[in-house]
Amino acid sequence: MSVIAKHSMFDGLFSVALKPTGAFREDLKSAGFDPDRPKPEYALRVWHDCVDVAARHLYPNERRERAWELVGERFIEGYLQTLVGKLIAVALPFLSPQSFVQRAPRFMSTGLVGAEVKLDWKGSKSATVTLTNVEHPACHLLAGVIAVSLGRINARGVKIQASPFGNEGSQVTVSWE
């Protein structure tokens, strides 16, 4: 099954958080997303291409992986202001780091359809989230999302490691004190 990115992800990043204009906006159209004519869903490739566009426009001097992480931080701030994201935002203050990570696959399903997400606990304060069919560098975007989310719930000593997983996947290992 191919992975589909819901419009809410594009809305959170581009309509709420970034509001692209000029060449940035035109490059998004070339990548398959027209902010003036949004679709309900997009192929994951379009999402990745649009995140690449954002990374290049916002962070041209950063390595691709770091730029994706920074875009992830901006994305989650915008996403939490969308109709779908507000449901998550309301829950965040009531979650511990462990309960947030436990719910991460469900939270991800609000924006991605068909993503195979596996959660593997390494201990009570460490886990790996694996996306077996969502390729690298998506893990770096997810790392930025997790960093901001855990910051919102006041997690301490957070460490996040993003890496490719196999030929077609990516993973993020997160731990906290």
Encode pLDDT of 121-176 as tens digits: 999 999 999 999 998 889 999 999 999 999 999 999 999 999 988 778 999 999 99
Domain boundaries, position 106:
96-175
DSSP 94: G
- Tokens 């398959």 appear where? 32
- pLDDT score recorded for residue 1: 66
Q: Which of 158, 162, 112, 118 is nearest to 142 (CA)?
A: 162
- pLDDT score recorded for residue 167: 78
32's tokens: 């398959």
Is this model's pTM higher than 0.85 or not? Answer: yes
Which element (helix H / strand E) includes 118? strand 117-123
CA distance 3 to 19: 25
Count of domains forming the chain: 2
Residue 141 lies in a domain: yes
Residue 56 lies in a domain: yes
Q: Are 119 and 101 in contact (CB under 8 A)?
A: yes
Residue 168 lies in a domain: yes
